[in-house]
A and B are shown apart, each in its own frame.
Chain A
Amino acid sequence: ELKVEQNPLFLSMQEGKNYTIYCNYSTTSDRLYWYRQDPGKSLESLFVLLSNGAVKQEGRLMASLDTKARLSTLHITAAVHDLSATYFCAVDGSGWTGTASKLTFGTGTRLQVTL
């Protein structure tokens, strides 16, 4: 059974600081997603990481994937208040066979950026 763990569960950080959220998963997978969820809203796709060593950046967020270590990171640079949300990683457990994705989600990291 695929297990996905995120840490930390909760992160309070000041504006302008840097921090990293970690996502570990238990079985081989070559596709990993990062999502953002604002309170009372649905999920917004941030990144799709498809291969070992993949790195993607959008604004102050950068995501990377190490399939050998079964680890993905979401790095926040110079945080701003607008980044306050819950961030989920999700791993495709269906196998990279071309079939549609069955995602197993991490526990989520609630990020609070304070002034």
Chain B
Amino acid sequence: SAVISQKPSRDICQRGTSLTIQCQVDSQVTMMFWYRQQPGQSLTLIATANQGSEATYESGFVIDKFPISRPNLTFSTLTVSNMSPEDSSIYLCSVEARLLTGGSEQFFGPGTRLTVL
């Protein structure tokens, strides 16, 4: 399994500002994923972050709004830029980790709850 931590756990921000969310994993992983969960909704994949290359964004998400860094195999950041109230969501990072029993599983961090005023 993988143990994932995120900082901050929650924040309240003003419109027009930016927030950087950190994700730390206790083991080296090839890819990390960033998801958004809007209030009362399901999870939507924002982007896939591969160490040493540009992140791959899903439809509806762009690098200028959600720049991602992946400096090494255990760490990634997601920045929410020029925030508006519509960005109020929980942001979760996840990784795929190999299991001792074989196969793999996707694990999620505790999430960052963002409120934009």
Interface string of B95-110 (1 = CB under 8 A from A): 0100000011111111
A-B contacts, 10 listed (Cβ < 8 Å): A33-B106, A40-B113, A42-B108, A42-B111, A43-B108, A45-B107, A100-B30, A100-B96, A103-B106, A108-B41
Cα distance A23–B45 when bound, in Å? 19
Residue B53, interface by CB 8 Å: no
A residues with CB within 8 A of B: 33, 35, 40-43, 45, 48, 50, 88, 90, 100-108
Which residues of B are found within 8 Å of A33, using beta-carbon distances? 105-106
Cα distance A48–B103 when bound, in Å? 9
Cα distance A65–B33 when bound, in Å? 25
Residue B92, interface by CB 8 Å: yes
Cα distance A105–B105 when bound, in Å? 15
Q: What class of interface size applies to chain B in its complex with A?
A: 20 to 34
Residue B48, interface by CB 8 Å: yes
Please tell me if the beta carbons of B42 and A45 are within 8 angstroms of each other in the complex.
Answer: no
Cα distance A17–B104 when bound, in Å? 33
Which residues of B are found within 8 Å of A106, using beta-carbon distances? 42
Q: A90-B43, A90-B106 are known; give 11 further A-B pairs, CB within 8 A.
A: A35-B108, A41-B111, A42-B108, A43-B108, A45-B105, A50-B103, A100-B30, A100-B96, A102-B45, A105-B42, A108-B41
B residues with CB within 8 A of A: 30-31, 33, 41-45, 48, 92, 94, 96, 103-111, 113
Interchain CB contact (< 8 A) of B109 among A42, A48, A101, A102:
A42
Please tell me if the beta carbons of A101 and B42 are within 8 angstroms of each other in the complex.
Answer: no
Which residues of A are found within 8 Å of B105, using beta-carbon distances? 33, 45, 48
Cα distance A105–B94 when bound, in Å? 13
Which residues of B are found within 8 Å of A41, using beta-carbon distances? 110-111
Task: Kindly name the residue among B42, B45, B103, B108 whose own CB sees the greatest number of chain A CB atoms within 10 A.
Answer: B42
Cα distance A50–B43 when bound, in Å? 21
Cα distance A108–B42 when bound, in Å? 6
